[in-house]
């Protein structure tokens, strides 16, 4: 059976690099592989293992191994083996690219269908829920400790939205079951890394929901927050994570729009679709990008301008889907 250890025989110095703006899957897969290799380091006569990643939120502090991750890319160390995790292309490596460029051997482990197969060895499983799911299959199950299992579990729950997104398969759940058998505190891992919010984050969430309003026959929900509010709560835009998803699950809503002020006359717009509206088309029109059901862009002007410019694009798509009459009737009533 193919194992990641087959690829690193004889390597003295190993580096593991995750992608820019690391997410749970990136952090989970890197710490899982790091801990696994650390446990067999002496046996394989490995001298050192470094892990590099940009800084991330403290909701991942409960993962063991995160304390060893290096966030400054100042060292010019040259490695025998470079392992990239959860990166679809070289530009996703950020500052870690220099270690890729100088390494003797490069390995790319990922699950993005768009992966550009940029390394010497590419282990890309496009139908896997997460890189953590891919990593699990490359490790010897007997050597997966409770700590490693927790890292892998966190990656899987983050990329599947706690087993909710359609990338969740029977295999994903079977792996999750095996990880639970390792004795991980799965409820706590889910709560603390995924759902938990600070008091401020909850205050902001409440405020954004209070300020929301429905348009286009109650099929579209919109909310916004300006910089004064963020300053009042001493909050940063990352404290608004999750607002758009809460707006999206409003019953009857097809499209959710969340807008926050980046700078004077400059707004970040997040778009989500529950149905057939392709929000990426709208985001791309305004210079942004994304997927059919989740997209975003940055827009200039007053908040009123931003909303008034967005609405016709949503309306056009809704009209195509439901026919003009429905929307016009509801608006006129
Ligand atoms: Mn991933």
The pTM is what?
A: 0.83
Tell me the C-alpha distance between 294 and 286, whole Å: 15
CA of 272 to the centre of ligand 1 (A): 20
Q: Residue 323, SS3?
A: coil
Average confidence (pLDDT) over 304-317: 97
Q: Is residue 329 scored above 70 in pLDDT?
A: no
CA of 26 to the centre of ligand 1 (A): 6
Tell me the C-alpha distance between 88 and 117, whole Å: 8
Nearest to 130 by CA among 171, 69, 186: 171
CA of 209 to the centre of ligand 1 (A): 29
CA of 252 to the centre of ligand 1 (A): 30
Q: What would the pLDDT profile of 48-67 be if each residue is shown by its tens digit?
A: 999 999 999 889 999 999 99
CA of 86 to the centre of ligand 1 (A): 5
Tell me the C-alpha distance between 331 and 333, whole Å: 6
> How confident is residue 322, by pLDDT bands cut at 50, 70 and 90?
confident
Nearest to 81 by CA among 60, 107, 61: 107
Q: Residues in the chain, how many?
A: 333
CA of 81 to the centre of ligand 1 (A): 21
Average confidence (pLDDT) over 139-155: 97
> How confident is residue 326, by pLDDT bands cut at 50, 70 and 90?
low
CA of 236 to the centre of ligand 1 (A): 24
Q: What is the DSSP code string of 137-173?
A: HHS-GGG--HHHHHHHHHHHHHHHTTTTSTT--HHHH
CA of 131 to the centre of ligand 1 (A): 5
Q: What would the pLDDT profile of 176-205 be if each residue is shown by its tens digit?
A: 999 999 999 999 999 999 999 999 999 999
pLDDT more than 90, % of the chain: 88
Please, are residues 247 and 281 in contact by the beta-carbon 8 Å criterion? no
CA of 41 to the centre of ligand 1 (A): 26
CA of 183 to the centre of ligand 1 (A): 24
CA of 30 to the centre of ligand 1 (A): 11
CA of 258 to the centre of ligand 1 (A): 24
Tell me the C-alpha distance between 192 and 174, whole Å: 23
Q: What is the pLDDT of residue 57?
A: 87
CA of 27 to the centre of ligand 1 (A): 10
CA of 172 to the centre of ligand 1 (A): 13
CA of 160 to the centre of ligand 1 (A): 9
CA of 154 to the centre of ligand 1 (A): 11
CA of 163 to the centre of ligand 1 (A): 13
CA of 132 to the centre of ligand 1 (A): 8
Tell me the C-alpha distance between 102 and 112, whole Å: 25
Cα of 323 vs its chain's centroid, Å: 35
Sorted by where each starts, the structural domains of the chain and their CATH numbers stand as 4-195 (3.90.1640.10), 199-332 (3.10.310.30)
CA of 153 to the centre of ligand 1 (A): 12
Please, are residues 138 and 3 in contact by the beta-carbon 8 Å criterion? yes
Q: What is the pLDDT of residue 327?
A: 52
Radius of gyration of the chain (CA): 22
User: First and final CA of the chain: distance in angstroms?
Assistant: 66
Q: What is the pLDDT of residue 294?
A: 87
Tell me the C-alpha distance between 137 and 109, whole Å: 11
CA of 145 to the centre of ligand 1 (A): 22
Q: Is residue 324 scored above 90 in pLDDT?
A: no
Please name the residue that has the structure tokens 């490995």.
Answer: 46
Kindly give, in sequence order, each residue whose CB lies less than 8 Å from that of residue 21, ignoring residues fewer than 6 positions away. Answer: 54
Q: Is residue 121 scored above 80 in pLDDT?
A: yes
Q: Residue 72, SS3?
A: coil
CA of 129 to the centre of ligand 1 (A): 7
CA of 157 to the centre of ligand 1 (A): 10
Q: What is the pLDDT of residue 256?
A: 98
CA of 25 to the centre of ligand 1 (A): 5
Mean pLDDT score across all residues of the chain: 94
Please, are residues 142 and 39 in contact by the beta-carbon 8 Å criterion? no
CA of 65 to the centre of ligand 1 (A): 19
CA of 130 to the centre of ligand 1 (A): 5
> How confident is residue 331, by pLDDT bands cut at 50, 70 and 90?
very low
Tell me the C-alpha distance between 295 and 107, whole Å: 30
Q: Residue 218, SS3?
A: coil
């Amino acid at each position: 059976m193919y194992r990641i250890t087959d690829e690193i025989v004889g390597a003295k110095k190993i580096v593991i690099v995750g992608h820019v703006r690391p997410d749970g899957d990136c952090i989970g897969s890197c710490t899982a592989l790091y801990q696994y290799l650390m446990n067999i380091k002496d046996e394989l006569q490995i001298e050192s293992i470094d892990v590099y990643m940009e800084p991330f939120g403290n909701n991942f502090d409960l993962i063991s191994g995160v304390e060893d991750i290096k966030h400054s890319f100042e060292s010019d160390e040259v490695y025998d083996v470079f392992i990239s995790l959860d990166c679809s292309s070289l530009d996703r490596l950020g500052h870690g690219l220099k270690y890729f460029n100088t390494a003797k051997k490069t390995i790319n482990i990922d699950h993005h269908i768009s992966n550009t197969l940029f390394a010497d060895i590419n282990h890309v499983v496009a139908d896997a829920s997460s890189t953590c799911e891919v990593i699990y299959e490359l490790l010897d199950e007997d050597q997966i400790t409770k700590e490693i299992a927790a890292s892998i579990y966190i990656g899987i729950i983050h990329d599947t939205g706690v087993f909710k997104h359609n990338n969740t398969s029977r295999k994903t759940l079977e792996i999750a079951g095996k990880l639970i058998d390792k004795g991980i505190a799965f409820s706590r891992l889910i709560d603390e890394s995924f759902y938990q919010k600070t008091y401020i984050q909850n205050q902001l969430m409440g405020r954004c929901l209070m300020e929301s309003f429905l348009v286009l026959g109650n099929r579209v929900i919109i909310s916004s927050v300006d910089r004064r509010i963020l300053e009042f709560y001493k909050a940063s835009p990352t404290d608004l994570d999750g607002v758009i998803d809460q707006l999206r699950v409003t019953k009857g809503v097809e499209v959710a729009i969340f807008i926050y002020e980046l700078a004077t006359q400059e707004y970040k717009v997040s778009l989500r679709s529950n149905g057939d509206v392709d929000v990426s088309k709208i985001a791309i029109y305004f210079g942004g990008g994304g997927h059919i059901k989740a997209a975003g862009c940055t827009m200039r002007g007053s908040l009123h301008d931003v909303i008034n410019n967005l609405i016709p694009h949503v309306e056009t798509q809704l009209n195509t889907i439901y026919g003009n009459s429905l929307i016009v009737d509801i608006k006129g009533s």
